Amino acid sequence: MLISSIVILLQFFYTLGALGLAVYGLQALILTLLRLRSERLTQKGQTRTELDSMGKPNGAEDDFWPAVTVQLPLYNEVHVVNRLIDACAELDYPRDRLQIQVLDDSTDGTTGLAQLRAALWRSRGIVVDVQHRSDRQGFKAGALKEGLRTATGDYIAVFDADFAPARGFLRQTVPTFLGKEGDSVGFAQTRWTHLNAGYSALTRAQALALDGHFVIEQAARYAAGLAFGFNGSAGVWRRACIQDPNVGGWQDDTLCEDLDLSYRAQLAGWRGVYLDGVEAPAELPPQLLAFKRQQFRWAKGSVATLRKLSGRVWNGGWPTLKRLAAFVHLGGYLIHPLLLLLLLVSPLLMLLGSQPYWPLAYLSLVSAGPPALYALAQRRLWGRAWFRRWAYLPLLMLLGMGLSLSNSVAAWQALFGRGGAFLRTPKFHVQREADEWHRSGYALELEPLVAAEIFLALYAGLGCFISVVHGQWLSLPFLLSFACGYASTAAIGIREACLARSARTRRHSQSTRLFRAKNLVKS
């Protein structure tokens, strides 16, 4: 009786996890179909881009362009601060209508570099102000909120430290807010591209994931009139939207202040615009541990936003389908706890003689959603050469499996905790294959969570053995993916940490020898 009750309970958890994953697989399939539909309508001339119908073309006289403030939130970015300031200072925009704010919370040499670079560009007639805070209150949201007090622009462009916007960025985006149809536009998000996608297999997998998000997910949500999020960088805000009392401005009670603000803006009646044709190059994290930290912050922030805004979304007056789509969107990182749940339950069910794979037989169609989404994104970007980039999908899937524990911890903290430190993703100015990140002092150390990842790799391996012994072959690929994913994540993390520690030790030894040599000369 007890065994039967345990089996029923485990089957319930397994079915819950399988159905939850099916929801996200179905979402990917629907967004892919919506993207295809929007492309067909565009080809038939039944839709138009925002830039075709708003404002004036890029060649308009300077008197037409409104005042813009470009905000650059920084925290310890010695490798990329000059690249960022240079790219923004070279934006093709009337100088008397452009202000650049370097919002610096740094505690290392970044502040000095920023001040020197700002002085250089001021000598050339570009307004570049460095605002340094002695504390990080509110983290990025706090810095943006503080900068808004002295901003002179009616429109606010935001770039994170890893971006290098093209010269025409503002002339391509600002017209979105102008004209009669632009009056209700609160923010515009552009498509991220990649400065170093070809650096390694890791960056190629990241590029595949981001391309799927921007080319398909963001474009499909926007075309279908669904709510979508501001991605925190490479976008422009109408200042009046941020300061609208019904919106509430930048808030720091989640780690995704960008997603939070964009949803509050849309709930208050402002429109978001996604500009798929405007590219914004950025650097991808070359260190797995840095990518892992980035995903942890995004997972925790998005789930915290779901927790914060779920009531407002449900009662916000949106159509039912739009509300449901918003819940699935905000809860996107909940896929990782669902994956972890399936892993923990599957071997136990097999040991008890049950068949944990039966629900998946009815969900095979929706499981094709994510691969189709990424394939269409690469086809859209690269034409006939799409397959070479889509071929990194297995690696991306393994990364998803391997990061499921870390992201599950993030989701748990967001659901049952509050706030948390804004842990930055280090940038290394790595663009060429010859560039090395592990020599930087920003290289991350290994985290204790790796021990749990090793345990889960062994647990999944045990599950593979059990599936073979019990002849439950349909469970084998799933468990094998987990075993490889966790083992790879742990192994790569350990290797990277060793490389960084070795480089740090050599730097310390060289500094010590230099110090001793100087003292010897003095004596």
What digits encode the pLDDT tens for the residues 415-435?
987 656 778 899 999 988 878
Q: What is the pLDDT of residue 51?
A: 44
Q: What is the pLDDT of residue 474?
A: 80
User: For residue 82, with 0-12 CB atoms within 10 Å meaning exposed, 13-18 middle and 19 or more buried, which class applies?
Assistant: middle
**% of residues, the chain, pLDDT over 90:** 74
Question: 3 pLDDT band (50/70/90 cuts)?
Answer: confident
Q: Averaged over 449-466, what is the pLDDT?
A: 96
What digits encode the pLDDT tens for the residues 103-132?
999 999 999 999 999 999 999 999 999 999
Q: What is the pLDDT of residue 151?
A: 97
Q: What is the pLDDT of residue 508?
A: 53
Gyration radius of the chain's alpha carbons: 24
Question: 338 pLDDT band (50/70/90 cuts)?
Answer: very high
Q: What is the pLDDT of residue 44?
A: 63
Q: What is the pLDDT of residue 40?
A: 81
Q: Are 199 and 286 contacting, i.e. CB atoms less than 8 angstroms apart?
A: yes
Q: Alpha carbon of 170 to those of 153, 189, 247: distances in Å?
A: 13, 12, 24
What digits encode the pLDDT tens for the residues 237-281?
999 999 999 999 999 999 999 999 999 999 999 999 999 999 999
Q: What is the pLDDT of residue 299?
A: 96
| Across 10-14, 79-83, 137-141, least confident range | 10-14
Q: What is the pLDDT of residue 304?
A: 96
Q: What is the pLDDT of residue 434?
A: 79
What digits encode the pLDDT tens for the residues 310-319?
999 999 899 9
More confident residue, 409 or 52: 409
What digits encode the pLDDT tens for the residues 35-65?
999 888 776 664 444 444 344 555 556 678 9
What digits encode the pLDDT tens for the residues 128-154?
999 999 889 999 999 999 999 999 999
Assigned CATH topology for domain 53-329: Spore Coat Polysaccharide Biosynthesis Protein SpsA; Chain A (3.90.550)
Is the per-residue pLDDT at 481 higher than 70? yes
Q: Which entry of 104, 258, 260, 276 is annotated as an active-site residue?
A: 258
| Extents of the domains making up the chain | 2-33+334-506, 53-329
More confident residue, 500 or 229: 229
Q: What is the pLDDT of residue 55?
A: 47
Q: Alpha carbon of 311 to those of 256, 326, 343, 416, 487: distances in Å?
A: 18, 12, 31, 17, 40
Q: Which entry of 104, 105, 160, 162 is annotated as an active-site residue?
A: 105
Q: What is the pLDDT of residue 516?
A: 47
Mean pLDDT of the chain: 90
Structure tokens at 112: 């000095």
Q: What is the pLDDT of residue 509?
A: 57
Task: State phi, psi for 159 to the nearest 5 degrees.
Answer: -135, 130
Q: Is 63 a catalytic residue?
A: no
Q: Averaged over 16-36, what is the pLDDT?
A: 92
Question: How do 155-158 and 68-74 pair as beta strands?
Answer: parallel
- Write out 387-439 in H/E/C secondary structure: HHHHCCHHHHHHHHHHCHHHHHHHHHHHHHCCCCCCCCCCCCCCCCCCCCCCC
Is the per-residue pLDDT at 361 higher than 90? no
Structure tokens at 505: 């030790």
| Across 162-171, 297-306, 378-387, 493-502, least confident range | 493-502
Q: Averaged over 312-333, what is the pLDDT?
A: 96
Q: What is the pLDDT of residue 438?
A: 87
Structure tokens at 307: 């927790």
Q: Is 258 a catalytic residue?
A: yes
